[in-house]
Amino acid sequence: MLGYIVRRLLSAGLVVTLTSMIVFALFFLGPDNPAQPLCDINGKCTPERLALLTEQLGLNDTVYHQYWIWLQGLFVGREISFGPIYQCSAPCLGISYSTRNEVTAELLDKFPATLSLAIGGSLIYLLVGVFLGTMAARVRGTLADRGLVTMSLIVSSIPYYVLAILAWIYLSLEWQIFPDTTYHPLTDGIGAWAYGLLLPWLVLGLAQSTAYARYTRGQMVETLGEDYIRTATAKGVAKRKVIFQHALRAAIVPVITIFGLDFAFLLAGTVVTEEIFDIDGIGQWGIRALRAPVDFPVVAATVLIGAVIIVIANIIVDILYSFIDPRVRVS
């Protein structure tokens, strides 16, 4: 197991390195001058000012030198100049063009809101989805099973942003059931933190739970047909124990795979949810950075952090396999 973990970490490091190269090339070596948005911020961009900013940002250097300086800043920090000189501490993701703050500091400020939203929403759709899928598989072929599958298909066919907007309009604005849907830090109290995120959690969780119900039901139906399940049933093992201790433990492995990736994508930025419910997280932060003039350091940071989160989630899911299902063994 230790050797497998080391190999996965090495491969993850390679993936992150390649991703950093792609991110750097995409945002800083494109057809447009990365200094142009910075020059356009005050609305008085002249060829002379653009040339000066290009020189100050080191964009006239070779590609390899630019990437090395950018990569070096992630580990030891670097000095950034576009007029004033900014000391960007490690891990340096750059200086925001619009706010002139360190991108890393802004990222750490936005991340708790996205993390809180992702944890609450993902727990709801995992627990509700797995429970409904298990119950549907237990009574498969009955009217209750067909009704559950039909309802999940209906909910899944409605675009998520429509459900979120309707919930915000009626439950928050019209009926005032959830008048406060903004993020409050835990320092304001756990009650304010949970109440502010409760509606986004419910909308995100219940909308996604239908997919998990279908995943779980399909896996459970297949697992319940396995020989060892029939053997346990023939030996007189209680049906509840067969369902939850034997069948579910095996059937949930692919569901955990999907959950790990979904949770990683949520951490990378729940754009729609944050925009609709006005939650100042990574997703909303990245969307604002894309508006003209484009804040290249912020956009590049959101893409890179998203890739790192997804890679880490894959590693965690792979390691969890052998603990969840004893049939899975890593050589």
CATH number at residue 315: 1.10.3720.10
Among 62, 92, 122, which residue terminates a domain?
92
Same domain, 296 and 170: yes
Confidence (pLDDT) at 282: 92
Q: How confident is the model at residue 23 (pLDDT cuts 50, 70, 90)?
A: confident
The boundaries of the domain holding residue 177 are 106-324
* Same structural domain, 77 and 198: no
Residue 135 lies in a domain: yes
Residue 101 in any domain: the answer is no
Give the confidence band of 1 by pLDDT, cuts at 50, 70, 90: low
**Are residues 299 and 194 part of one domain?**
yes
> Domain end: 34, 65, 92, which one?
92
Task: Give the pLDDT of residue 140.
Answer: 86
282 or 246, which is more confident:
282
Rg (CA), the chain: 24
Are 211 and 147 found together in one domain?
yes
Domain identity same for 295 and 235 = yes
Name residue 132's amino acid: L
User: What are the tokens at 192?
Assistant: 């304010």
Residues 235-263 have a mean pLDDT of 83
Give the type of residue at 8.
R
| Average pLDDT value over all residues in the chain | 86
Please tell me the predicted confidence (pLDDT) of residue 241: 83
For Cα atoms 262, 265, 270, give the angle at the middle one, nearest 5 degrees.
110
**pLDDT-derived band at 130, boundaries 50, 70, 90:** very high
Hey, which residues does 263 pair with through a beta bridge?
A: none
Residues 200 and 290 in one domain: yes
Mean pLDDT for 114-140 is 91
Residue 328 has a pLDDT of 57
Distance CA 84, CA 185 (A): 33
Q: Which of 207, 118, 122, 201 is nearest to 162 (CA)?
A: 207
pTM of the complete model: 0.86
pLDDT over threshold 90, residue 102: yes
Residue of 220 and 327 predicted with greater confidence: 220
Lowest mean pLDDT among 166-175, 273-282, 284-293: 284-293
Give dist(CA 326, CA 331) in Å, integer: 13
**What is the predicted pLDDT for the residue at 31?**
63
Which helix (H) or strand (E) is 79 found in, with range? strand 78-81
33-71: pLDDT as tens digits: 888 888 887 667 888 888 988 888 888 888 888 889 988
137-171 confidence digits (pLDDT tens): 888 888 888 888 888 888 888 889 899 999 999 99
Question: Do 79 and 164 have their domain in common?
Answer: no
Q: How many CA atoms lie within 13 A of 303 on its CB side?
A: 18
- Measure Cα distances from 110 to 200, 267, 298 in Å: 17, 11, 12
Determine the pLDDT at residue 300.
Answer: 87
Q: Quick one: which H or E segment has residue 85?
A: strand 85-88
Tell me what percent of the residues of the chain surpass a pLDDT of 70. Answer: 94
Quote the pLDDT of residue 325.
60
φ, ψ (nearest 5 deg) of residue 296: -55, -45
pLDDT exceeds cutoff 70 at 132: yes
Identify which has the larger pLDDT, 13 or 104.
104
Burial tier of 239 (Cβ tally within 10 Å: 0-12, 13-18, 19+): exposed
pLDDT of res. 141: 84
User: Is residue 1 one of the residues assigned to a domain?
Assistant: no
127 and 74 belong to one structural domain: no
pLDDT of residue 324: 66
> What would the pLDDT profile of 184-223 be if each residue is shown by its tens digit?
998 889 999 999 999 999 999 999 899 899 999 998 988 8
The rounded distance, in Å, linking the Cα atoms of 292 and 36 is 11
The CB density around residue 112, as the number of other CB atoms within 10 Å, is 15
Please check whether residues 167 and 262 belong to one and the same domain. yes
Which residue's structure tokens are 């949970």?
Answer: 194
113/281 Cα distance (integer angstroms): 5
| Predicted local confidence at residue 329, as pLDDT | 54
Task: Judge whether residue 27 has pLDDT over 80.
Answer: no
| Residue 238 falls inside a structural domain | yes
SS3 98: coil
Between 321 and 273, whose confidence is greater? 273
Q: How far apart are CA 127 and CA 137, in angstroms?
A: 15
**Weakest mean pLDDT among 15-19, 25-29, 271-275:** 25-29
Residue 326: band (very low, low, confident or very high) from pLDDT cuts 50, 70, 90: low
190 within domain boundaries: yes
In terms of Cα–Cα distance, which of 269, 265, 271, 267 is closest to 161?
271
Are residues 65 and 110 located together in one domain of the fold? no
Look at the chain and report how many structural domains it folds into. Answer: 2
